[in-house]
Amino acid sequence: MKFSSIFMLYSLFLGFCVGIFSALFLVIVNFLIQVVWQTIPEALSFPIYYPLIVTLIGGGVIGLFQKKVGQYPKTIEETLKEFKEQKTVTYKYRVGKNFSAALAVLTFGASLGPEAALGSLLGEGISWIGDQMKWTLAKREQLLEVSLGTMLAVIFHAPFMSVAQPLEQEQENIRIKWKKIVLYVATTIVGILGFTFTQKLFPQEKVFEIRTPAITWDINLLYVILPAILCGIGFGYLFLFSETVSERIAKKINHPLLLALLAGLLIGIFGMISSYFLFSGEHSVGTLSREYQKLTIGYLLFLAVGKMCWTNISFAFGWRGGKIFPAIFTSVAVGLAFVKLFPFTPGLLVSIIVASSLTIILKQVWVTAALLLFLFPLQFFPVILFVCWLTKQVSNKIQPSK
């Protein structure tokens, strides 16, 4: 399709709106979390079993919702699949369902992120706008891609996330691809402006950052780079295996209310053990990276494996949401356990493990690298990009693409 100036203006305006909408959604979620997890328990003197009470109530609410209304919120993958099959995303009577289900899942403490709900809401919104303005299928598809890329860029604080999307696609007319990239960059910039402007009105805790110690290069690092990559690849496949097992268990039980209550019970029990098991991890990954020296290797691995299990169980059992934030948190926990054993340039080793693990989980080189660009020191980025590429090559050998 032609990238006309009018279409560019539509994209920029939509990107700005996406930034504002994403920020407002997160503001609402954070407000509800603060009320449920801070204001109310402080008034009740915070009994130790309070997390269990909250998650069981959440399980009941989500279970009844799943039973009576259906599987909501829809994921980004489901939204894109529906668009490709039906050339649109159904929006009538669904916006409220997606929004309500997402708020319940995120507020009651699930180890899941907001990107699934935001993606489905954006898909519905663009389909509605497309119907009102009689946009062609090509324009709808392009605007949906641009909007999803902008949304992911702003919520993950990864400005090049949207650029990574066209780079992941099969090689096509390079002229068109570069026009896409320019469009995506411009749209993401205005999206970040809208997101930042809105957040300034509602200040909140900084998210999605890892504190690494001052970089001291150690020659011993060379001996453990390969084990670090293999460690990350292994954990990535463990994450995917946990996902498959959770889905199989859910299919055998096949009772929405019971499944949601079981997930709530597990989340609550482990939430009483450690607050790290609650929520997606975007606020706590920085805290973990500062405090890991005080924790044992066994405890760090317990956090990683436990949160991995509850993330996948929660999703399979009806607490639906995004898995990118918890995948990053759990990979970081594994990386921190690794550097407790081999403290050679620890920040770089953690970034290598996270890069290889996420590449296996997300199955995308450029997207993973873009996610991690500003999560770790910038001088690590060439290594991160190489590790992502190398991991993808290994993955293709282990499990060739069909």
Give the tens place of pLDDT for each residue, 152-165: 777 777 776 666 66
Proportion of the chain above pLDDT 90, given as a percent: 31
Q: What pLDDT score was predicted for residue 402? A: 46
Question: What does the pLDDT look like over 294-312, one tens digit per residue?
Answer: 899 999 999 999 999 989 9
Report the range of poorest mean pLDDT among 61-70, 129-138, 146-155: 129-138
The mean per-residue pLDDT over the stretch 314-338 comes to: 92
Q: Which residue has the higher pLDDT, 376 or 136?
A: 376
pLDDT in tens, 194-219: 888 887 776 655 555 565 555 666 67
Residue 123's pLDDT band (cuts 50, 70, 90): confident
Q: How confident is the model at residue 234 (pLDDT cuts 50, 70, 90)?
A: very high
The overall average pLDDT reported for the chain is: 82
What residues have CB less than 8 Å from 55, skipping those under 6 apart?
Answer: 108, 109, 264, 265, 267, 268, 271
Specify the DSSP class assigned to residue 39.
Answer: I
Distance from C-alpha of 355 to C-alpha of 372, rounded to nearest angstrom: 7
Residue 166's pLDDT is 60
**Number of other residues whose CB lies within 10 A of the CB of residue 252:** 7
Residue scoring higher pLDDT (265 or 7)? 265
pTM of the full predicted structure?
0.86
